[in-house]
Amino acid sequence: MTHQNGQATQEARLHAIVQGRVQGVSFRYYAITTAQRLGLVGWVANRWDGSVETVAEGTRQALDEFLSFLHRGSPAAMVESVDAKWHSPSGEFSSFRLRY
């Protein structure tokens, strides 16, 4: 499913920081399974301030779906905000993994 300008299949990079009750609620596990199901590559990690940070690369359509997940979170999470920034993909990742 591509838009006329090819935007849906265009590769992009999403860098997001998710604030709220997102640590200790399986958020990273759900992020990994969601990203892998969507065919994305990159990483997800807990941050010292209680937020979760993620970098994902793939098609814009898959990244939009991933961003929707980030706003919902895992079943036990309480997402307060998502600071998302879009970039050009670096191509540096081969899988989606947990980063410590």
**Catalytic choice (5, 21, 37, 46):** 46
Domain membership of residue 66 as a residue range: 10-98
Number of domains composing the chain: 1
What pLDDT digit, counting tens, does each position of 30-70 carry?
999 999 999 999 999 999 999 999 999 999 999 999 999 99
Asked if residue 1 belongs to a domain, the reply is: no
1 pLDDT above the threshold of 70: no
pLDDT digits (tens, 9 = 90+) for 70-91: 999 999 999 999 999 999 999 9
For residue 76, give the amino acid letter.
A
Coil, helix or strand at residue 69: helix
Residue 4 scores a pLDDT above 70: no
Establish if 52 belongs to a structural domain: yes
Could you tell me if residue 3 is inside a domain? no
CATH of the domain at 38: 3.30.70.100
Asked whether the predicted pLDDT for residue 3 surpasses 80, the reply is no
Q: What are phi and psi of 66, to 5 degrees?
A: -65, -40
Is 63 among the domain residues? yes
Is 5 annotated as catalytic? no
Closest CA to 13 of 49, 44, 41: 41
Q: Which residues contact 45 (CB under 8 A, 6 or more apart)?
A: 28, 52, 53, 54, 98, 99, 100
Q: Is the predicted pLDDT of residue 96 greater than 90, yes or no?
A: yes
Q: Does the global pTM surpass 0.75?
A: yes
C-alpha to C-alpha distance for 1 and 91, rounded to whole angstroms: 23
Residue with tokens 């992020």, as numbered in its chain: 31
Q: Which of 5, 13, 21, 28 is catalytic?
A: 28
* Catalytic residue status for 46: yes
Domain-located, residue 5: no
Classify residue 4: in a domain, yes or no: no
Q: Is residue 35 part of a domain?
A: yes
